[in-house]
Chains A and B, each alone.
Chain A
Amino acid sequence: MTELARMIAGKKVSPVEVVQAHLDRIAAIDGKVKAYITVMGESALAAARAAEAAVQSGATLGPLHGVPVGLKDLYCTKGVKTTGGSKLLGDWIPGEDATVTARLAGAGAICLGKLNMHEFAYGPEGLNPHYGTPWNPWDVTTHRICGGSSSGSGASVAAGICAGALGSDTGGSIRIPSSLCGLSGIKPTYGRVSRAGVLPLAWSMDHVGPMCRSAADCALMLAPLAGYDPRDPTTSVLPVPDYAAALTGQVKGLRIGLLRSFFLESAGAPQRAAVEAAAKLLEGQGASVESVDLKKVDLGPAVSHAVLAPEAYAYHEEWLKTRAPEYGPDVRERLRLGAFVTGAEYLKGQRLRALLRDEVDQVFAKLDVLLAPTTPVEATAVGQSEVRIGDGTFPVRPSLIRYTRPFNLTGHPAASVPCGFTTDGLPIGLQIVGRPFDEATVLRVADAYQRLTDWHTRRAPLGS
């Protein structure tokens, strides 16, 4: 994406050629990949022609000028269907853009279309009974999950049918598909990027962020998204740093915590080995690495249930009473659970959440970033409900969100970057967590790691 933006600005490649090549590729492979719910071919080509004219006229160009991107189908797009991955909104056409939709366009990005997802973002596998479940591009023969809920975002970037995508993350929905699809993605700090015009799953846990090939691409895409938005009262007025300038390639003197119990110690052997190797590599560059534990993190699943389930239920309550058969069975059932959480339990969850946040903040008094696996397992087959990790067998769904969900509860920024592959050729993700509003350091570590490794440059069989 960074290179593509540079080539377009330098007149080495035409935005029209770039967009047409992506549309051709979508036509060729998306019948199998199922990354897109809506392809915006005509408007994308019109925008590309305008972008080309701007380049030729010597106009000032935005940082993403002419770069084709995809939007998870929960970002409102004025005049274009926004389904939330559901039949309930199958024909809904918003009257205005989400703030981030407009900000990407303002930076010059060209929207190729709306991306598939787990229905209403309520599932970490990325399944979809209405529009088809996206196919993980790293396995041509077995239909494996992309991870969710931003499964179309993961599939599209990995398959090379957009240069970057927007995901959203309530329990790991940017980081999990980034991990399972071999991508780089970042969930920024809660309040760093506007949620205005984004279909909610749980207002107090939803985060908006980019999914790209590299940390440098994430820095490029995050910059225009970040910052205060009067349409979202939870956004911060803190200034947005220059993320690209933060990518120095240096980690010397940084203090890194390696999350052991709950995280590393319960991961699969390939994930554990890959993350430990990544920590060692960074240590070799002059960072200090020490083991660290979060003692309250065990509360995460219960606290998440207390907070997420009633927030999701509150948004869907009316439809659950009047249009329940239109939901997919798994999401309908999960949403109904929120009806049985009391107000007192919800607030207990919000109070304990403050404790979890405080504990992570205390760890950051002595450390700059934390490392952990993003997921304990690689991409599982579609329909697989259990997975072997070490000597045990565990359900897939809670396993996928185990390491990511804590940082939705605490709001800290967290990225996932590729850090290896299993013997079957499936990607492994390294999670990098930072201080509140310190996305710059998270991206700096991610980028420094990618300057030392080539995992992020490898292409999926369905993406080559």
Chain B
Amino acid sequence: MRYSPGMEKLTVDALRTLAKAQGLELTDAELTALLPLVEGGRQSLAAIRDLPVECEPASQFRIL
């Protein structure tokens, strides 16, 4: 599911496959409406994917 930076634009069929892998059964109309939003999300995530960061995640597990 990890998108590589050079990945081609998503299609409705590719999105259907990804959604099914998550257990989501979406209609063609729903997939068509969702596609630009997912694409926007991918572009947004691509902008941060390769940023160097050395610190640990802000979320922590605490036993006490």
A residues lining the B interface (CB < 8 Å) = 204, 233, 299, 301-303, 305-306, 309, 320-321, 333-334, 336-337, 339-342, 344-345, 347-355, 357-358
Inter-subunit contact B37/A345 (CB<8 Å):
no
Interface range on chain B: under 10, 10 to 19, 20 to 34, or 35 or more? 20 to 34
- 23 residue pairs bridging A and B, Cβ less than 8 Å apart: A299-B47, A303-B48, A305-B45, A336-B26, A337-B34, A339-B19, A340-B18, A340-B38, A341-B45, A342-B1, A345-B2, A345-B45, A348-B53, A349-B48, A351-B53, A351-B55, A351-B57, A352-B48, A353-B57, A354-B55, A354-B56, A354-B57, A354-B58
State A358–B41 Cα separation when bound (angstroms): 25
Residues of A within 8 A of B37 (CB): 333-334, 337
- State how many angstroms separate the Cβ of B54 from the closest Cβ of chain A: 8
Per the bound structure, the CA–CA distance linking A355 and B59 in Å amounts to 13
Considering only CB atoms, which chain A residue lies closest to B19 in the complex?
Answer: A339
The 4 closest A-B pairs by CB, nearest first: A350-B57, A353-B58, A302-B44, A339-B22
Within 8 Å CB of B34, what residues of A?
333, 336-337
Output the least CB separation between A369 and chain B (Å). 23
- Tell me the bound Cα distance from A306 to B48 in angstroms: 9
A309 to B23, CA, bound (A): 17
Q: Assess the A305–B57 pair: CB atoms within 8 A.
A: no
Contact between chains at A305 and B44 (CB < 8 Å)? yes
Task: Give which listed residue, B18, B19, B49, B62, contacts A345 with CB less than 8 A.
Answer: B49
Q: Is B7 an interface residue (CB 8 A)?
A: no
Report the nearest B residue to A357, measured CB to CB.
B58
Residue positions of B touching A, CB distance < 8 A: 1-2, 18-19, 22-26, 33-34, 37-38, 41-42, 44-45, 47-49, 51, 53, 55-59, 62
**Roughly how many angstroms separate A306 CA and B51 CA in the complex, as a whole number?**
14
List, in ascending order, chain B residues with CB within 8 A of A358's CB.
55
- Within the complex, the shortest CB–CB distance from A50 to chain B, in Å, comes to 40
List of A residues within 8 angstroms of B51 by Cβ = 299, 348, 352
Do A305 and B49 touch (CB < 8 A)?
A: no
Cα A204 to Cα B53 with chains together (Å):
20
B58 A299 Cβ-Cβ under 8 A? no
Among residues of B, the one whose C-beta sits closest to the C-beta of A190 is: B58
CB distance from A85 to the nearest CB of B (A): 21
Is B24 a contact of A352 with CB atoms below 8 Å? no
Chain A residues with Cβ below 8 Å from B42 are 340
- Assuming A321-B24, A349-B48, what are 10 further A-B pairs, CB within 8 angstroms? A299-B48, A302-B47, A303-B48, A305-B41, A337-B41, A340-B41, A348-B48, A348-B51, A350-B57, A351-B53
Contact A320 B48 (CB under 8 A): no
| Set of chain B residues within 8 Å of A345, measured between Cβ atoms | 2, 45, 49
A398 to chain B, nearest CB (A): 11
Interface centre among B22, B24, B45 (most CB of A within 10 A): B45
Min CB–CB distance A356 → chain B (angstroms):
9
**Complex interface: chain A residues within 8 A of B49 (CB):** 345, 348
Residues of chain B with a CB closer than 8 A to A352's CB: 48, 51, 53
Give min CB distance, B28 to chain A, whole Å.
15
Bound complex: CA A306 to CA B44 (Å): 9
**B24 to nearest A CB, angstroms?**
6
The docked-state distance in angstroms from the alpha carbon of A352 to that of B55 is 8
Residues of A within 8 A of B19 (CB): 336, 339
Return chain B residues, CB-CB under 8 Å to A301. Answer: 44
A311 to B49, CA, bound (A): 18
Q: Which residues of B contact A334 (CB under 8 A)?
A: 37
In whole angstroms, what is the CA distance A233 to B59 when docked?
Answer: 12
A333 CA to B38 CA in the complex, in Å? 10
A342 — which chain B residues lie within 8 A by C-beta?
A: 1-2
Evaluate contact between B1 and A350: CB separation under 8 angstroms.
no
How many angstroms from the CA of A341 to the CA of B58 in the assembled complex? 18
For residue A302, which residues in chain B have a CB less than 8 angstroms away from its CB? 44-45, 47-48
Which B residue sits closest to A301, measured CB to CB?
B44
Q: Please report the C-alpha to C-alpha distance between residue A27 and residue B59 in the assembled complex, in whole angstroms.
A: 45
Q: How far is A342 from B7 in the complex, measured between Cα atoms in Å?
A: 15
User: Which residues of chain B come closer than 8 Å to A350, judged between CB atoms?
Assistant: 57-59
Pairwise interchain contact B57-A347, C-beta atoms closer than 8 A: yes
B59 with A333: CB separation less than 8 A: no
Which chain A residues border B45 with CB–CB below 8 Å?
A: 302, 305-306, 341, 345, 348
Q: Please measure, in the bound complex, the distance between the C-alpha atom of A341 and the C-alpha atom of B1, giving whole angstroms.
A: 8
State A302–B41 Cα separation when bound (angstroms).
8
CB proximity of A411 to chain B, nearest CB, Å? 8
Q: How distant is the Cα of A412 from the Cα of B25 in the complex, in angstroms?
A: 39
How distant is B57 from chain A, measured CB to nearest CB, in Å?
4
When chains A and B are docked, how far (Å) is the Cα of A358 from the Cα of B56? 12
In the complex, what's the smallest C-beta–C-beta distance from B11 to chain A, in angstroms? 14
Contacts known (A303-B48, A352-B48); A337 close to B56, Cβ less than 8 A: no
